A and B are shown apart, each in its own frame.
Chain A
């Protein structure tokens, strides 16, 4: 795939190897610990804004190591759904479970603990503008985790290495390209050792030539067994890596299934129809 070449052209692939091994190891240890419960489950999430129903009983369940992709036209509620899961947008009804544990979003302390374990990647990156790449990754380790400056910076540096940006550690967001900015955002989320990552159209705000390097990070995480729920328009990517595709429209999941089922030629699914039109636009 051309994406992969791009990622490797800009960065040394050698930096990825040791971390990948670590990720795989920790996965096998933890997988044994709690195989019964899904890593993350959101059940019957509904949300209205004013009189408009944005989400209508949307549910998803992610087994450990699973990558599920949410697709659908803009305005379908994909982004709202992801933000309802970690309470950035409080859902009206519905429940969220992390490893079988129900989350009470009204309890601020509990919600903060939950958020520390569920990372989020945003469409428009949302790095902290006044901090270097290194401090962007380190600050939550210090302010949320209570780590020392030295430890947090060492950890931040190793996360930046993991996304191939160790040599950009001292630069500010305004000095990074869009793709680099998003990779720093990944390092920031990964430094918190999340059990699950929520990805809200992580490549939609990028110039086409920068999409590849970010997809490469996601691909690498997927191979390392990271549990992820991702809203995206990258259909080739979804087809290749997703365990399941959820097709959303008007605040509902109207189709779900494996990429093979939904995207089989002649399957006549709404998903296939949407994707073929998406391809035409591109």
Chain B
């Protein structure tokens, strides 16, 4: 690989793309996680009809390939008069998908909190909301963190499907340049390194977060 081609063609294109990718994944991570907490809590503690809806949503979103969901958001919704630009369609698709997966981790963690602790809180006179906020959720989030971290890493990688919505992210830039120059190997190798850096950064941040949130008796020892 000539250094000129790397410096003058690949890096500028991929730098442009990685910036878009970062703009895609940050709102998707935050809102996807928030949505997952709400959805998970509803699926664990909500009234039955809400639980059913939450379960159905999760089944559909987890069961249909993301690429098809993005296609529907970008190409089929306009037929109903709803127009999303490529970026918005991609972010919406990622949030919906991410929330479904997160909700599964959160739901499991919420249900894993020992019933006895809930009884103890009630016996002290806690109302349901402060019991959830002070006792259940702080424990559940710690339990869910490793699973949710996994989902964050996945999100970084499946954000490459944004090309479906003509949103020009890291992968799209690589594909465009490769189609133009026919130098697939070099371009996609470098593109892969970009994703590896992003996921490594995320893994490092998650690791830090786990250490910060560490409490004896929860998860691995420091």
Contact = CB atoms under 8 A, between A and B. Distances in A.
B127 A140 contact: no
Interface residues on A, range: 20 to 34
A163 B125 CA distance: 22
Nearest to A112: B125
Contacts of A188: 120, 124
Interface of A: 83, 86, 88, 108, 112-113, 115-116, 119-120, 122, 124-130, 139-140, 143-144, 171-175, 185, 188-189, 192
Interface string B110-123: 00001011011111
Given A122-B116, A129-B139, A174-B216, A88 B124 contact: no
A108 B126 CA distance: 11
B119 A126 contact: yes
21 contacts: A86-B123, A112-B125, A119-B124, A120-B120, A125-B116, A126-B119, A126-B120, A127-B120, A129-B114, A129-B215, A130-B218, A140-B121, A140-B126, A172-B216, A172-B217, A173-B217, A174-B216, A174-B217, A185-B120, A189-B124, A192-B125
A144 B125 contact: yes
B125 A122 contact: no
Interface in B48-90: none
A88 B131 CA distance: 14
Contacts of A86: 123
A185 B134 CA distance: 17
A185 B119 CA distance: 13
B125 A120 contact: no
Contacts of A108: 127
A185 B215 CA distance: 19
Contacts of B138: 130
Contacts of A171: 216
Interface string B209-222: 00000011110000
Interface of B: 114, 116-117, 119-127, 130, 134-135, 138-139, 142, 215-218
* Dominant secondary structure at the B interface: helix
A130 B215 contact: yes
Given A139-B135, A172-B217, 6 more contacts: A86-B123, A108-B127, A116-B125, A122-B119, A127-B120, A185-B120
A88 B117 contact: no
B116 A124 contact: yes
Contacts of A140: 121, 124-126
A125 B121 CA distance: 12
B215 A126 contact: no
Contact of B127 (A112, A124, A130): A112
B216 A139 contact: no
Nearest to A135: B134
Given A172-B216, A174-B217, A130 B123 contact: no
A122 B120 contact: yes
Contacts of B117: 126-129
A115 B124 contact: yes
Contacts of A113: 125
Contacts of A122: 116, 119-120
A128 B125 contact: no
Interface centre among B114, B124, B142 (most CB of A within 10 A): B124
Nearest to B123: A120
B124 A192 contact: yes
